[in-house]
Structure 1
Amino acid sequence: MKIMYAATSEQENYIHYLLNYFYTDVFPYYFDDEQIRQFEEWGILSLNDGHVAYNGTMKEAFQIISALQSLITVIEYIGEHGECDQYEWLFVRNQNILARHGITFPFRAKQFAHKRAMPCSVYVPAASQWVM
């Protein structure tokens, strides 16, 4: 018999926050709105891939959170510095961790080497609640 601990609701919420963070704070700097919309349709960074399921265990939640945080850090570094060779292995390692849990992230580190300074996207959160 093996005892499994379920992920807490805070961990689940944080996973969803990080997945959403990619769409609102990472992708708009590298892809246009049409491409991002396609990513949503394809189920990129979705927990419901269908092939391999995320079972909701605490261990899986920690692995997913760590992988997402690592990818965000690597992408932000690559976007600022433009060099990706030394972190390619870390990028791929975390990509594989996500794939084991059914989360698709089909990108290469080189795709994040050229960051836009000011993205104009519907995916970027509004700076305030007021709309003009």
Structure 2
Amino acid sequence: MKTVFSSTEEQEQEIASLVSRFYETVFPKYFTESEILHFRKIGVLERNRSSSRFTYLGTLRDAFQVMTCLQVLLSILGKQQAEEWNDPDSAELFQHNITLLNEYGIFFPFYYDHFSNMNQEASNDLQMMDAHVANQYLV
């Protein structure tokens, strides 16, 4: 008999928060709105209910591993804006964390190269957000 500790409510909330960050801030930079809606429909970053032996079971250790993988992916994607994207170690680390997520039953069907080019519509929106107001009456 083996005793395991279940994940905490805070860990589950953190996982949900990290998934929301992907949908609200990361995916819009690289994909169109219709693609993002399709991702939600097919269950990207959701738990797979399959009977795989690696499926995320809600244990304390598993939740911590899933949180860490999501945080690493977000960190690597954040490096792209800092123009450090061509680092081969990042590509390997990115793929390793995707593999771990998939082993834990979290569906993430992307590769490092999917995030190499920003969505043109999204980059235009980001440029508009960075524009400085030249006149205080123009807002």
Q: Same fold (TM over 0.5)?
A: yes
Distance in 1 (alpha carbons) for counterparts of 2:125 and 2:105 = 29
Verify the 8 A CA contact 1:19 1:45 in the aligned structure 2. yes
Distance in 1 (alpha carbons) for counterparts of 2:39 and 2:45 = 8
TM-aligned CA deviation for residue 55 of structure 1: 1.2
Q: What's 1:110 paired with?
A: 113
**Equivalent of 1:85, from 62, 83, 88?**
88
Distance in 2 (alpha carbons) for counterparts of 1:118 and 1:61 = 36
Unaligned runs of 5+ in 2: 127-139
Q: 1:31 to 1:50 in 2, by over 3 A?
A: same
Deviation string 1:41-67 (CA, Å, 9 cap, x unpaired) is: 1111012x2224421100000000000
Unaligned runs of 5+ in 1: 121-132
Distance in 1 (alpha carbons) for counterparts of 2:36 and 2:87 = 22
TM-aligned CA deviation for residue 109 of structure 1: 0.9
TM-aligned CA deviation for residue 118 of structure 1: 4.3
4+ residue runs over 4 A deviation: none
Distance in 1 (alpha carbons) for counterparts of 2:33 and 2:86 = 25
Q: Which amino acid aligns with 1:50?
A: R
**Is the radius of gyration larger for structure 1 or structure 2?**
2
SS in 1 for 2:123: coil
Percent pairwise identity: 32
Q: 1:9 to 1:80 in 2, by over 3 A?
A: same
SS in 2 for 1:27: helix
TM-score with structure 2 setting the length: 0.78
TM-score with structure 1 setting the length: 0.82
RMSD between aligned residues: 1.7
Distance in 1 (alpha carbons) for counterparts of 2:124 and 2:64 = 33
Aligned residues: 119
Matched, 1:50 2:49: yes
**Equivalent of 1:59, from 51, 54, 61?**
61
